[in-house]
Structure 1
């Protein structure tokens, strides 16, 4: 029996989910960072946010 495995990495998946839940976020700069972390680091940024200089891995505060 032959088995195939497919792995997809969708870097903006959390942003896509947020935009589905909250349509007002569409076409706006969006970044995702954890709320419960001592030092919040941006985990993903939308294309609009990247165009404004927001990058993954940068501390929010």
Structure 2
């Protein structure tokens, strides 16, 4: 970690929501195509990314 990165306040972007949306759409398409394993895995990844987003958003609001 560089000194300038350590001095910057906690900045948060919506990258997690973007990737969660990508995996959610992938899960829907895979589910419609009949690939249940891929759909389930994609939904699980999307769920984890949304949870990480929420945790980071709460931390950013507190700090």
Which one scores higher on RCO, CA 8 angstroms, separation ≥ 6? 2
- Indicate the structure (1 or 2) with the bigger Cα radius of gyration: 2
**TM-score normalised by structure 2 residue count:** 0.28
Greater percentage in strand: 1
